Amino acid sequence: MKRLKRRTFLKGLGAGISGILASRTMPYFFVRNIAQAAEGDTIKVGILHSLSGTIAIIETSLHNAELLAIEEINAKGGVLGKKLEPVIEDPQSMVQVFAEKAKKLLLADKVVAVLGCYTSASRQAVLPIFEQYNGVLLYPTLYEAQECSKNCFYTGAVPSQQLDNFIPWIINTLGRKKFYLIGANYIYPKETNREVKALLRKHGGQLVAEEYAPLGATEFSTSINKIASSGCDVVFSDLVGDQIVAFYKQYREYGITAKDIPICSPITTEQEIAAMGSENAVGHYTSFDYFQSVDAPENKSFVERYKARYGRNAVTNAVMQSAYFATYMLAHAIEKVKSTDPDALIFEGLPGQEVQAPEGKVKIDEKNHHTWLWGRIGRANEQGQFDIVWKSENWIQPQPWVPYLYPGKACDFTDPRVLKRLKRPWSEEKNRSGTINL
């Protein structure tokens, strides 16, 4: 009998494994391609959130919320009698990969729209692609505003929706006037703080100092030293990601409590508090359109469904809620125009779309593609949730350009002149970068 040699065995094993992999992945891929070419019985929706890399924690929650919404829509019978089919891509927290995958979703998978992106960097990386190939992007994150794109619908808050009431509230209700601004060194904190400073001038606040930490830096002892000796009575933080966790922890370890100098932030969510431990955040304030503790039947059932799907310990947050209702808005828009044509969605389907979201009724603005949202201020409690201490009486209009900083600037996609320019085939806007022409 022939002896099985180690090398022969290894070779066979390797060949076997690669064979299995090839047989598992290849036919699936081809089947998928054939299915989309034949315009099957599903409507493809791209989902573009990092499942690996530095921002995976928060982006995975958006990804989950969108999948939950799609499952719910499908359970109710889908859209136009077809099921929504999520096409999932992992951009690995890298802007290059975001751009590449966005291209793939639009050109290879031919999705009707993409729900995706979290950081401003990733949005800026994919926007030219959506404009070039006329795709639809639903962007769920709060961001620095001063942008509007025909192809993008922003369901997150703009700074004015979070700050216009927050800063006066800090000054008048909390009675704190001396602000110390700390943020990460990139576009979102810089633009947000520009607005904070304008609001401080308007409402009689005082700027003590302004500091930008390098992105990704998690050592804040010198900054906290400066805060303690600066004589400020409130810290306004737009640090992001892991920095939030590090900053709040070190702040408490240093011995400053929320009674001495509270931290106010437009970006710290339940997600970061869960990561840092609720004792580090107790008493600090956040301004958002949504908190998990919002007392509304829609929200209770949303939180319940989310926990049933992703585990008892899962928490919901504002950005994820935006991603969730954005998915519904997309489904309703497709129902409304009875088509998956991007131009129909961009000009008729999505603008003015209203939906009863967990935070309340929300609407996409017809003029600037941003969303009417509610204003809320929360104080973090021991359970890692927010006690809502203030709520706006009505929904707040989105203003990508706030009048007190940029008077006379706005964008209006209902203006006939703008429409005429945008709808022209192969117009400059559609064809901004080089396209394939043989």
Partner 1 sequence: MASASGSVLAKTIANRSKRTIYRTPLIPRPVLVGGLFVIALIGAYPYYGTNAYVLSLLGKFLCYAIFALSIDLIWGFTGILSLGQAVYFGLGAYFIALSLKLNYALTHPTRYGGKIPDFMEWNGLTSVPHFMQPLMNLKTAVVCALIVPTLLALLFGVITFKRHIYGVYCAVITLAESLILQEFIIEYQAYTGGFNGITDYSNYVSPRFLWFILAVAIIFFLGARLLTHSKAGTVLKSIRDNDLRAEFLGYNVANYRIFVFCVSSFMAAAAGAMYAAWVGLVSFLDTGPVFSIEAVIWTAVGGRGTIVGPFVGTFLVKGAEFFLSGVLAEWWQILVGGLFIFVVLAMPDGIVGAVARWGARRRLALDNIARKDELKKYYFQLRLRSERSAQPEKEAP
Q: Interface with partner 1 by CB under 8 A: which residues?
A: 10-11, 14, 17, 21, 25-26, 28-29, 32, 51-52, 87-90, 94-96, 99-101, 103-104, 106-109, 120-121, 124-125, 127-128, 133, 146-147, 185-187, 190-191, 214-215, 409, 432-438
Give min distance, CB of 104 to partner 1, in A: 5
In whole angstroms, give the CA distance from residue 421 to residue 26.
Answer: 44
Q: Which of 113, 210, 196, 197 is nearest to 160 (CA)?
A: 196
Would you say 186 or 390 has its CB closer to partner 1?
A: 186
- Asked if residues 164 and 396 have their Cβ atoms less than 8 Å apart, the reply is yes
CA angle 365, 369, 375 (to 5 degrees): 60
Would you say 106 or 330 has its CB closer to partner 1?
A: 106
Give min distance, CB of 249 to partner 1, in A: 24
Give min distance, CB of 244 to partner 1, in A: 17
Count the helix, strand and coil residues of the chain and give each as a percent rounded to the nearest 5. Answer: 45, 20, 40
Would you say 30 or 254 has its CB closer to partner 1?
A: 30
Would you say 100 or 348 has its CB closer to partner 1?
A: 100
Give min distance, CB of 296 to partner 1, in A: 33
DSSP 214: P
In whole angstroms, give the CA distance from residue 289 to residue 161.
Answer: 8
Would you say 4 or 436 has its CB closer to partner 1?
A: 436
In whole angstroms, give the CA distance from residue 169 to residue 175.
Answer: 8
First to last CA, the chain: 63
Give min distance, CB of 40 to partner 1, in A: 17
Give min distance, CB of 93 to partner 1, in A: 10
In whole angstroms, give the CA distance from residue 299 to residue 310.
Answer: 16
* Distance (Å) of CA 2 to CA 5, 8, 10, 314, 377: 9, 11, 16, 57, 77
Q: Which of 359, 309, 331, 326 is nearest to 64 (CA)?
A: 309
CA 6 to chain centre: 53
Would you say 266 or 375 has its CB closer to partner 1?
A: 266
Give min distance, CB of 103 to partner 1, in A: 5
